Amino acid sequence: MSEKYDLIVIGGGPGGAAAARRAAQKKKKVLIIEKDGWGGTCAHRGCIPTKALLSCSRFYADMKKLQRVSVQAAGVMFDFAAMQKHQRQMVRVASLGAHKSLVDEQVETRQATAEILSAHRVRLVEPNGQSRIETTHHTLIAWGSQPQIPPDIRTSGRILTSDDMPGLNVLPSSIIIVGASFIGVEYATVFAELGVRVFLVELLDRILPQEDEEAADFLRQELTRQGITVLTSVKWTNLREMPDKVVLNIEKNNENMEIEAERALLCTGRKPLLDVRKLNELGINHTNAGISVDERMATSVPGIYAAGDVTGGMMLAHRAAKQAEAAVEGMFGGEDRYNERYIPSVVYSHPQIARVGLTEDRARKEGMEVEVFKSSYGPNIIARTALMGQGFAKTIFHRNTIMGAVIAGDSAAELILPLALAVSAQLTRRQMRSWVIPHPTLGEILTTHIEG
């Protein structure tokens, strides 16, 4: 029997949607199945909700700067419930947009639960309970991820995960954020800018342990300046809920400390959403870190691919999309392959941290002869006129070829774009010196540090 579809995608997040669109553009017949909301974690619990709140808190915080440019704004107030309404509207827009992009490419979409029976057979269970089996040449797993909750901790109305945050309708007066990865740092920024007392607690010796050390140290100083209490190199021994508060017990420098707050937010990472029983039944290789794939995102079972958070590693929407596109190219004879080093990452704190390629420390550990160039926001006239504060850009070269870049400061998420292109194209210093960037712009910091 011939298969009905060329590709069935399970999961309608950024990875699954990107795979479905790319395959449809290749004139393939595609079915994508999503059990909850189109857009996945990114649209409903991750990227979009946090960025909506960060935009609101930034507007409010920036009002404090207006007096420096002779603008009087007395009596400024905010409504957290209205901010959450804005957040929900943005989630809805993102979800509708994700679904519309699939429909526009003539991808067949189904709201259902899916079970992989084999590489070429998938069972769908509709919300009304009706079930049917569809056949396919290829299957892509894009199940996504879920919060990683420490053992012996139970979430509640006072002990939350990042998945719970979109439903928080009352702003707490104080909060303990456990985990200073990008999720923890971003929420710390939101709450601090809205006047909440924030305790940011990290087990390791610095915040953002996967990012450039100098950038992480810079951001810690900025967060501290915003009034956030940052505690690193701590061991937390107990987190308990009381009737009107939460209490966190920690050890730091061999001393016991107790921190109290109205709520606690667990930002202790995310883990791949794995159906271990089904993976074992199908014979798909995997570990607790995720499904094992090659550079074409193929699993150990021919015909079955995986992309996005379910493969572990950096859990980023654009990474999931790039993996998914590489998977489709692998299925249908394309040339694209996935390279993790070309994936940029952004911490949307205020100020932002953005990186692409190798950090200085990672390059040295790989035995490279490293040459580092750095420039600061200080001399840049746009940074000064717009009251952007401190920041810097840093590029890492090996044998005159760019291997990585870091930007710490306002608009880092936008400034990293040309450097991401430079890293993926493996540009040389000579090629980058040929860039002509308009004056006056913040982007001028991208060239001044590689001249000479």
Domain total in the chain: 3
Q: Point out the domain boundary residue: 320, 341, 362.
A: 341
Question: Is residue 154 domain-resident?
Answer: no
Residues 41 and 110 in one domain: yes
Residue written as token pair 């607790």:
288
342 token code pair: 């070309």
Residues 326 and 298 in one domain: yes
Residues 178 and 207 in one domain: yes
Question: Is residue 153 domain-resident?
Answer: no
Residues 122 and 177 in one domain: no
Catalytic residues: 439
Instruction: Write b or e for each residue in 46-56: b if 16 or more Cβ atoms lie within 10 A of its Cβ, otherwise e.
Output: bbbbbbbbbbb
Q: Point out the domain boundary residue: 235, 268, 301.
A: 268
Residues 137 and 12 in one domain: yes
Residues 136 and 178 in one domain: no
Each residue's pLDDT expressed in tens, for the chain with a length of 452 residues: 467 999 999 999 999 999 999 999 999 999 999 999 999 999 999 999 999 999 999 999 998 888 788 888 778 899 999 999 999 999 999 999 999 999 999 999 999 999 999 999 999 999 999 999 999 999 999 999 999 998 888 898 899 999 999 889 899 999 999 999 999 999 999 999 999 999 999 999 999 999 999 999 999 999 999 999 999 999 988 999 999 999 999 998 889 999 999 999 999 999 999 999 999 999 999 999 999 999 999 999 999 999 999 999 999 999 999 999 999 999 998 777 888 899 999 999 999 999 999 999 999 999 999 999 999 999 999 999 999 999 999 999 999 999 999 999 999 999 999 999 999 999 999 999 888 999 999 999 998 666 65
Q: Point out the domain boundary residue: 317, 341, 365.
A: 341
Residues 112 and 178 in one domain: no
> Three-state SS for 231?
strand
Alpha-carbon distance values, 329 to 20, 28, 169, 321 (Å): 12, 12, 44, 12
Question: Is residue 151 domain-resident?
Answer: no
- What is the sign, positive or negative, of the torsion defined by CA atoms of 336, 320, 347, 85? positive
Instruction: Write b or e for each residue in 111-142: b if 16 or more Cβ atoms lie within 10 A of its Cβ, otherwise e.
Output: ebbbebbebbebebeeeeeeeeebebbbbbbb
Residues 281 and 262 in one domain: no
CATH number of the domain where residue 290 is located: 3.50.50.60
The neighbouring-strand residues paired with 371 are 397
How many CA atoms within 13 Å lie on the side-chain side of 50? Answer: 22
Residues 128 and 31 in one domain: yes
Domain span at 370: 351-448
Residues 165 and 121 in one domain: no
Residues 179 and 43 in one domain: no
Question: Is residue 142 domain-resident?
Answer: yes
- CA-CA distance, 452 to 450, in Å (whole number)? 7
- CA-CA distance, 320 to 343, in Å (whole number)? 10
Residues 375 and 335 in one domain: no
Burial, 452: exposed, middle or buried (Cβ in 10 Å; 0-12, 13-18, 19+)? exposed
Strand spans (E) along 126-245: 131-141, 145-147, 159-161, 174-178, 197-201, 229-231, 235-241
